[in-house]
Amino acid sequence: MINKQKFEELFNQHLIKDISEEKIDIVLSGQYGKALELLRDAEATGLFPALVGPPGVGKTILCRYFASLRAQENKNKSFHWLTMDESIKPSHFIGSFDPAITLKKGFVLEAFNPGPLLSAMLEGGTFLANEINRATEYSQNTLLEPLEEASISIPHLGRIKADKDFFFISAMNPEELSGTHRLSEALKDRIKVWIKLTYPDKATELDIIRINLPEHFVVEESELELIYTIINETRKNKIDIEIPASIRAGIAIAKLVARTRFLEKKENVKEKMSIYEILTDITKNVLLGSIKPKPGMKVENVIENIIHKTLGT
């Protein structure tokens, strides 16, 4: 087990102190540039936006990039986020009292540990409610006062007013996906800008794959075309597939292809594998956890069909 001194040293070494200093590689062509403009428009007009789209289309990274821009323009403006599920309670947003200190001193400010929403409100930062429609309506109701009155009530301590620069963003998957809840009508009424993201066009998706490859990894353009064909086939096959492969799956396949080519070159392999052989093996391993087949369909059979159709193997 790591000792305390080493832990503190490594923690401080890797701590992200300011979102404006974090390097965020992002592609802003196509729908992403338009979405960023809408986020800026929402900020300028004091309207709270929601990003809606299937898993893996870049909702979170777009929010992080937007928050970094805000931090660069408004020094010391923070970024906080919370990813929702059914276990999230109001205290996860607001904060809670430290039991030990509370027993000694009572419900005083010193005993209170602020949550991410309260911190963003006090600091005038950006708060992202990620996968907001996975939270129960009970937890969603915690957001009503901050979005309507720009204030929040803290039990035993009082009610605070948010800094004027506080900005709230929500991100969510489409309602038809399993595991999501309906947003309450009261919460929907307070979200005024709805930004829809879908799977990007081919050129944009290939740019995203390229930007996510390590510097020493190289994938030929013809290989990228095949990778995109495989990923896109999962999206076209609506008969067998309920949830298709996201952009992350394409990135994973590209990285593994590049790794294979890198090792072939390093080990001076004379008889190199064809890209079809490489992709056949890699696709099986990546898509196994990257797609969700329709009920009654076996995922291995669906993947075999995709490989046969796209690679002919």
Whether 122 and 9 share a structural domain: yes
Whether 265 and 141 share a structural domain: no
Helix pair 221-236, 275-287: axis angle to 10 deg: 40
Provide the domain count of the chain. 2
pLDDT given at position 179: 60
Whether 124 and 247 share a structural domain: no
Whether 48 and 144 share a structural domain: yes
Residues 280 and 227 sit within 8 Å (Cβ to Cβ): no
Give average pLDDT by consecutive 10-residue segment, the chain, 313 residues.
85 82 90 97 96 94 95 84 94 95 94 96 96 92 95 94 96 75 89 96 96 90 97 96 95 96 84 90 95 95 96 82
Whether 178 and 256 share a structural domain: no
Domain-ending residue, one of 196, 216, 244 = 196
Whether 243 and 171 share a structural domain: no
Structural domain harbouring 150? 4-196
Could you tell me the CATH number of the domain that includes residue 78? 3.40.50.300
pLDDT given at position 70: 93
pLDDT given at position 76: 67
Buried b (16+ CB within 10 A) or exposed e, 211-249: ebbeeeeebeeebbebbbebbbbbbebeebbebbbbbbb
Domain-ending residue, one of 196, 219, 247 = 196
Q: Which residues contact 104 (CB under 8 A, 6 or more apart)?
A: none
Phi, psi of 29, deg, nearest 5: -85, 165
Domain-ending residue, one of 126, 161, 196 = 196
Whether 24 and 146 share a structural domain: yes
154 forms beta bridges with 158
Whether 159 and 26 share a structural domain: yes
pTM of the model: 0.89
